[in-house]
Amino acid sequence: MRMHKLPAVVVACVGVLALMLFAAPASGQINYDVDPKSSTDGTPVPDVDKVGVPPGPPIGGPSGPDLGCWAATASNLLGAAGWGVGVTAQAKADSIYKDLINNFEVNPGDGYIAAAGNCAAAAKWWIHNIGLNSAMAGQGYDPTNPYVDFGLVERTLIEPDYNYLLKELARCQYVGVTWITGEDTGHCMTLVGGNYGPSIVGKAPPHQSVWHNSDNEGGMAPNWVDDEVYGNDWAKGFPTWWLDVNNDGVGDWVADAYFKACPGHPKPASAVGNFDVHYYRGPDHLDFSGPTPLWVSGVQMLVTGEMKDAYTGWQGNPDPEWDPTGAPVLYVPNEEIRDYHKILYLAVDFKEAEDPSTTNVFNIQVTDDEDVPAALDDWWWSEDNGQILMKYVFDDQPGWEKIVFPHADYKNLTGNILEWNLATECVPEPATLALLAVGLATLGLLGRRRQR
């Protein structure tokens, strides 16, 4: 198969027989600096296996080989973090994987994914279309899950990146890594543990890493195991991170990108259920121009909540819309309600920690329909400074809200901006609350009198 250079995190699972032959169970091998970690529920991190690939070489179907490693890895990360439906993290991840198959199979009824794709885009598509969509209650919807801070790096990874990711695992975060494999497509796997690299003082070989790989299982039939161990090759092209998947002492794959799911600050469930705007890059359309079908990622805006289509805003539009001049200015619809004021929550995810030189979130301007600024009432950073949640309070109920972003990266999701999302809710004024309390008390008194 000739090399087909896909975008950095666009990967699919390759049928590398070596994965089956040389995978080994983690337990009992060596002492790991970071032992294979657990999910939030205390069970092992999920190991979703592609449905079109039993333990052994990949098989195909009516649309081609099963290339859904990107969806399986996204499911592992989200299921481990507590998203999805089921009693255990594995069950949750399996439910998420089924959602992704149903939405991204090439042909209806295939039952598997026959196109390459992007782990980060798949995870964010599921979060925004199901995990944070109140209409999907009972199907994985959970507005209170703290794992809403995502990170993404798309470049050739080096040894310090690997050591950083091991430390992230130790901090209760979840990581997927994509690889250039020398085939038409790349591959993606879930990192769950391992040994630090040689730049860490006192860390002598072996430098092994532990993975959950959707292509097959380690061990021998019928005693398949989840954890698969590969050596990290720092001698080949040092300090580039190579993986020895053939177990021959030579690096075969080079790490191309990583995606991580981290604890952050979810927006209030009341606001999410009212009016929620998700702006992210997810699987957008199928491209058949290359040797392998590919889900191309694109910028998507999704609106959810009970008040979707009920508000009207700038120019009467019921949906958020960008300023037609092309400026990074977003108009958010609303409905004016007397004696209520408006609160707007805006969460911004950065690919890495925020870079104030271009994306400074404190330069974001939020105003009402008369360009009167709303007060930045409070803000909360995630532990790694990769996400911020900001709360803006309006004095009244404007006809619409306007958000002026400081850089076009917020509109194009380029540079260091991974995604952003906002939610709004209407809150009674204190005097209204007092009258409401009096009214409720009166109703209660009348109710008690009727019972006498």
CATH code, 391: 2.60.120
Q: What is the DSSP letter of 286?
A: E
Report d(CA 389, CA 383) in Å as an integer. Answer: 12
In the prediction, which pLDDT does 11 show? 59
Residue 147 confidence (pLDDT) above 50? yes
Choose one of 203, 232, 262: the last residue of a domain: 262
In the prediction, which pLDDT does 15 show? 39
Nearest CA among 301, 281, 278 for reference residue 422: 278
Same domain, 108 and 207: yes
Cα 166–11–49 angle (5° rounding)?
75
Same domain, 322 and 410: yes
Confidence of residue 60 (pLDDT cuts 50, 70, 90): low
Q: Report the domain count for the chain.
A: 2
Same domain, 209 and 350: no
**For the residues 25-53, what does the mean pLDDT come to?**
81
262 and 153 Cβ atoms separated by less than 8 Å: no
Confidence of residue 248 (pLDDT cuts 50, 70, 90): confident
In the prediction, which pLDDT does 202 show? 78
Neighbouring CB atoms inside 10 A of 415's CB total 16
The predicted model scores a pTM of 0.88
Sign of the alpha-carbon dihedral angle for 195, 198, 200, 205? positive
15 and 60 Cβ atoms separated by less than 8 Å: no
- Find tokens 């120019």 and name the residue: 315
In the prediction, which pLDDT does 277 show? 97
Residue 173 confidence (pLDDT) above 50? yes
Same domain, 238 and 350: no
Nearest CA among 116, 58, 126 for reference residue 92: 126
Q: What is the C-alpha radius of gyration for the chain, rounded to an integer number of angstroms?
A: 24
Flag whether 72 is in a domain: yes
Neighbouring CB atoms inside 10 A of 184's CB total 18
For the segment 291-300, what is each residue's pLDDT rounded down to a tens digit? 999 999 999 9
Backbone angles phi, psi at 259, to 5 degrees: -135, 135
- Find tokens 């979840």 and name the residue: 174
C-alpha distances in Å from residue 271, one per residue of 308, 362, 414:
12, 22, 27
Flag whether 167 is in a domain: yes
- Find tokens 């609303």 and name the residue: 334
Flag whether 280 is in a domain: no
Least confident range of 6-20, 226-240, 416-430 = 6-20
Confidence of residue 431 (pLDDT cuts 50, 70, 90): very low
Report d(CA 81, CA 123) in Å as an integer. Answer: 12
Flag whether 73 is in a domain: yes
Report d(CA 303, CA 322) in Å as an integer. Answer: 14
Report d(CA 132, CA 254) in Å as an integer. Answer: 34
Beta pairing partners, 304: 276
**For the residues 279-284, what does the mean pLDDT come to?**
97
Report the percent of the chain where pLDDT is more than 90. 68
The CA dihedral of 17, 21, 23, 24, to the nearest 10 degrees, is 170
Arithmetic mean of pLDDT over the chain: 86
**For the residues 27-48, what does the mean pLDDT come to?**
86
Same domain, 111 and 244: yes
Flag whether 361 is in a domain: yes
Name the maximum alpha-carbon separation found in the chain.
Answer: 87
In the prediction, which pLDDT does 225 show? 61
Report d(CA 63, CA 61) in Å as an integer. Answer: 6
Neighbouring CB atoms inside 10 A of 18's CB total 14
71 φψ region: left (φ > 0), alpha (ψ -120 to 50), beta (else):
alpha
The CATH number that applies at residue 98 is: 3.90.70.10
Nearest CA among 155, 150, 175, 179 for reference residue 164: 175
Buried b (16+ CB within 10 A) or exposed e, 395-406: eebbbbbbbbbb
In the prediction, which pLDDT does 437 show? 43
Residues 6+ apart with CB under 8 A from 79: 39, 46, 48, 86, 89, 90, 91, 92, 93, 94, 95, 96
- Report which secondary-structure segment, H or E, holds 92: helix 89-104
Same domain, 163 and 82: yes
Confidence of residue 337 (pLDDT cuts 50, 70, 90): confident
**For the residues 136-165, what does the mean pLDDT come to?**
96
Report d(CA 234, CA 232) in Å as an integer. Answer: 6
Least confident range of 119-128, 178-187, 273-282 = 178-187
In the prediction, which pLDDT does 6 show? 38
Distance from CA of residue 252 to its chain's centroid? 28
Residue 264 confidence (pLDDT) above 90? yes
In the prediction, which pLDDT does 434 show? 40
In the prediction, which pLDDT does 315 show? 87
Q: In 195-309, where do the E strands start and end?
A: 208-212, 218-220, 223-225, 228-233, 242-244, 253-262, 275-287, 294-304
Residue 121 confidence (pLDDT) above 80? yes
Domain that holds residue 205: 10-262
Residues 6+ apart with CB under 8 A from 437: none
In the prediction, which pLDDT does 449 show? 42
For the segment 201-236, what is each residue's pLDDT rounded down to a tens digit? 778 788 899 999 998 665 544 445 678 899 999 877
Confidence of residue 249 (pLDDT cuts 50, 70, 90): confident
Nearest CA among 148, 73, 81 for reference residue 384: 148
Least confident range of 80-94, 185-199, 207-221, 396-410 = 207-221
Tokens of residue 451, six digits: 């019972």
Flag whether 444 is in a domain: no
For the segment 101-113, what is each residue's pLDDT rounded down to a tens digit? 999 999 998 899 9
Same domain, 333 and 257: no
In the prediction, which pLDDT does 174 show? 97
Residue 25 confidence (pLDDT) above 70? no
C-alpha distances in Å from residue 55, one per residue of 218, 226, 285, 393:
9, 11, 30, 55
Helices (H) and strands (E) counted in the chain, each on its own, are: 9, 21
Tokens of residue 59, six digits: 């098989």
**One-letter identity of residue 268:** P
Tokens of residue 447, six digits: 């109710």
Least confident range of 8-17, 19-28, 66-75, 439-448 = 19-28
In the prediction, which pLDDT does 215 show? 82
Residue 272 confidence (pLDDT) above 80? yes
Same domain, 118 and 216: yes
Same domain, 247 and 329: no
Flag whether 268 is in a domain: no
Report d(CA 387, CA 432) in Å as an integer. Answer: 35
Flag whether 135 is in a domain: yes
